[in-house]
Chains A and B, each alone.
Chain A
Amino acid sequence: MSTTPIAWTGSDPAQRPLVERLHEWVTTVDHKRLGVLYIVFALICLVIGGIEAAIMRIQLIAPSNDFVSPQVFNRMFTMHGTTMIFFVAMPLVFGFANYLVPLMIGARDMAFPRLNAFSFWLTAFGGLLLHFSFLGGSGLYGAGTAPDVGWFAYAPLTAKTFSPGHSTDYWTLSLLVSGFGSIGTAINLVTTIVCMRCPGMTLGRMPLFAWLSLTMAGLVILAVSPLSAAQIMLLVDRYLGGHFFDTQAGGSAVLWMHFFWVFGHPEVYVLVIPAFAYASEIIPVFSRKLIFGYAVMVAATVCIGFISMSVWAHHMFTVGMSPAANGFFVLSTMAIAVPTGIKIFNWLATMWGGKIQFRTPMLFCIAFLFQFLIGGLTGVMLASAPLDWQLGSSYFLVAHFHYVIVGAILFAAFAAFYYWFPKFSGRMCSEALGRLHFWLFLIGFHLTFDCMHVPGILGMPRRIYTYEPGRGWDTWNLLVTIGVVFQALGTLVFVANLVWSYLKGDAAGSDPWDAWTLEWSTDSPPPAYNFAVLPVVRSRRPLWDLKHPEDPDWKYEGEG
């Protein structure tokens, strides 16, 4: 057999030149590579947003501090909020959904692979645009300025009169661009889940992860579109001299608040529902039990999705609305605690009587359960309008939503990293470093965000750049900042763990956790085509059926 010099690129990726490999990543339409790109992009932005938070905490470590000027402080809280929500949390959520949904439903790719790539690059461009404002905000001469209008950018602060220069334009354009990316990915996810399931994968047999991703994508379609519309209006005001939010010409500043929070509250659920999804996959595997109440979990999720569209004005109690509006939004906000509570009890019931394995993903999930409960309870407190008049816009509120976003969403995301990293990379994460990360981050989280409630109750408003001594806030703020050090160390350990495990970790094999969903039936990392033969499923745990032919699930699930 004569050897012909064919450039065979499929066998050993390490031997091809770096430029070629990078080019493959830039032009890829593979859902797995795009998922990884989303996640890496989110991790880079997590570090940037974390540095912005650390600058604020150093400024607030002591009373009458002058580490940064008030102007810089305003830019920091604006950039921190915008970065963390739109360029950390959203890409993280989309990255995991992108990577895992097609694998879990037995598909070879997303429904629209090129739209998928387009959406990712829109999001990445949006993030670049936002951070370029540090250089380009005032046109490169003079000190550069980033947006300083707060992450919800209330009118009339965003009007040309009060925000001259281009910093606010960078903010609004970056959210518009990345918003279109989010809508594209959401449509793609919905279409994938509806149209691409493998034979036998009925809606009732889908993993909860797919169900929750479907709900999340539906919410993105319904919530991010209003934000895009509001950003177009703001652009009309700023560039064409329109009057949407111009109170001088009869426009309404409150209308912007409504439009922003019509997006803003469902957005919270866009981020937390995927956290539920990770927990719903991880807790059963490490409890060695079926998820408790599959149907109820699906119903509760969809219910949360619907109710979350009708609670937005609880962000506006302090604005002063009519008693009828206040009453409606108090009741709808409290109602959403019911399906959420159902979910917490279902996770507990899943663990109850199980053979719990305290591996790193499970540790993060247990912390998630506990912290999400506390964050939910302070949420019920703030849902009561009279209490909100007292505590809204104080550090109590800041502590509450960080408890949910960091304590629940980020902890669940860490659990997801440790759980699916073997699938992404083919290597196991270091358990020792994982535990170190867990304990450092847990201590840091509680030091920061438990202590943050107290100055809020004592009257410390959010977004102040400094405070006078002797108000009883000093020690609490010191403790809050010390907690940041632990969180930063924990994040460093996490990044070190990812890098070390990617290079030196033990080989994972296709199914290291003895799990039950389809992504574990293929290689780690999966080949470009995912499945050589499309699977056929007969129950909610296809891998259980495969491993236990004598006792398969489909015998008991009924028409499921």
Chain B
Amino acid sequence: MSTGAVTARDPAVEWVLPSRGRVGMVGLIVAESAIFTIFVVAYLFYVGKSRTGPLPGDVLHVPVVLTICLLSSSVTIHRAVTALLRSRTSAFVLWWAATIGLGAVFLLGTAREWQHLIYDEGLTIRTNLFGTTYYSLVGLHAFHVTLGLLGLALVLLLALGRRVRREHSERLEVLSMYWHFVDAVWVVVFTVVYVIGR
């Protein structure tokens, strides 16, 4: 080192910056929001422009139960992280497992809806513009739910092996930010696909 640093650190000076995990996750969420925005714009632009059926009004049913499941999983993950902050590990595991269960129910429900649309209604991604935009937008969201579930399941496995402790709560908060984002996107997708687009 030639000159070394400029001056030695003064321990009396308070110097606190935001946590890397949170800021990085906010960056990821902004990027993902931009991606979803483009898909939502395409969906809205093509509402009513399909040249052939089936049309959304004929085949889509509002998935009320699934929506309740996914949105309430935001509450359970929040309670899980709060429990961990108070070092109540077993409560954490229970709430965390409940989150995974609710997310899995949502994913299964989407799968059954797709099965109905494909085999009973004959709507595939290549049928018409509605099919293309519907499967792309809902599929992109379901892909994010799947990614989130994989992350949550990894944490659950570690927790069952008693590897998750209070000092990990900040990392889990970062993961829960992602999960809240996936839920918030569903509010937009729900509004666009099942309210405006029908």
Measured CB to CB, the residues of A under 8 A from B are 106, 111-112, 183, 186-188, 190-191, 194-197, 199-200, 221-222, 224-226, 228-230, 232-233, 236-237, 240-244, 249-252, 255, 259, 262, 509-510, 518, 521-523, 527, 531-537, 542-543, 545-546
Contacts and interface: CB of A to CB of B under 8 A. Distances in A.
Given A195-B23, A545-B6, A242 B35 contact: no
Interface stretch (B59-67, B77-85, B123-131): B123-131
Interface string B110-139: 000000000000000110110011001000
Given A195-B19, A534-B9, A535-B7, 10 more contacts: A226-B34, A229-B39, A230-B38, A232-B140, A250-B46, A250-B49, A259-B38, A510-B2, A531-B4, A535-B6
Contact of A242 (B34, B38, B125): B125
Contacts of A255: 42, 45
Interface stretch (B10-18, B86-94, B147-155, B181-189): B10-18
A240 B27 CA distance: 31
B51 interface: yes
B28 interface: yes
A536 B49 contact: no
Contact of B23 (A190, A531, A542): A190
A491 B129 CA distance: 50
A250 B50 contact: yes
A510 B34 CA distance: 42
B195 interface: no
B27 A186 contact: yes
A230 B132 CA distance: 13
Contacts of B1: 522-523, 527, 532
B196 interface: no
B20 interface: yes
B20 A242 contact: no
Contacts of A533: 4-5, 8-9
19 contacts: A186-B31, A187-B24, A188-B24, A190-B23, A194-B23, A221-B27, A222-B31, A229-B34, A241-B126, A250-B129, A255-B45, A259-B38, A259-B42, A522-B1, A523-B2, A533-B8, A535-B5, A546-B3, A546-B7
A191 B9 contact: no
| Complex A-B, nearest 7 residue pairs according to Cβ-Cβ distance, in ascending order | A241-B126, A225-B34, A187-B27, A229-B38, A535-B5, A242-B132, A199-B15
A286 B180 CA distance: 50
Given A195-B18, A518-B6, A521-B5, A226 B35 contact: yes
Contacts of A197: 17
Contact of B5 (A187, A229, A243, A531): A531
Contacts of B39: 229, 233
B191 interface: no
B37 interface: yes
A125 to B, nearest CB: 19
A553 to B, nearest CB: 12
A542 B5 CA distance: 10
Contacts of A236: 125, 132, 136
A194 B35 contact: no
A190 B28 CA distance: 11
A190 B34 contact: no
A131 B81 CA distance: 47
A321 to B, nearest CB: 15
B15 A241 contact: no
Nearest to B133: A244
Contacts of B157: none
B42 A244 contact: yes
Contact of A243 (B2, B24, B34, B126): B126
B39 to A, nearest CB: 6
Most buried by A among B15, B24, B125: B24
Contact of B4 (A228, A244, A532, A542): A532
Contacts of B28: 187
B160 interface: no
